[in-house]
């Protein structure tokens, strides 16, 4: 597992590192605390990676949050309603 340090003194982690850390909990039965200590990351970081991996395993990309999907669906429904309203004779 590889980590890098940027100029801003914030850690950046490779995708592989994030996946391996999350899999410790999800696939190998590690507790959150044991995984955090094993890879040397913070609790909030691990929780975020776990959530992202769980969503991806459910078919939801981490780049598309559920709220984004809801907003997109809402826009589509409004457009459809607008089209139907224009077609409806009064």
Would you state the pLDDT for residue 8?
57
pTM above 0.75, yes or no: no
Euclidean distance between CA atoms 78 and 83, whole angstroms: 9
pLDDT in tens, 40-59: 999 999 999 999 999 888 88
For the record, the structure tokens of 18 come out as 């994030």
**What is the full DSSP assignment across the chain?**
--EEE-TTS-EEE-HHHHHHHHHHHHTT---HHHHHHHHT--HHHHHHHHHHHHHHHTT--TTS-HHHHHHHHHHHHHHHHHHHHHHS--
pLDDT, tens only, 73-83 = 888 888 888 88
pLDDT digit string (tens) for 33-45?
Answer: 999 999 999 999 9
CB 2 within 8 A of CB 14: yes
């Amino acid at each position: 597992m590889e980590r890098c340090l940027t100029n801003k003194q914030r850690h950046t982690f490779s995708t592989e590192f994030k996946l391996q850390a999350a899999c410790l909990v999800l696939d190998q039965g590690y507790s959150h605390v044991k995984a955090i200590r094993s890879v040397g990351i913070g609790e909030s970081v691990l929780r975020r990676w776990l959530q992202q991996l769980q969503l991806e395993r459910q078919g939801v990309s981490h780049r598309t949050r559920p709220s984004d999907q809801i907003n997109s669906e809402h826009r589509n429904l409004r457009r459809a309603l607008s089209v139907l309203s224009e077609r409806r004779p009064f």
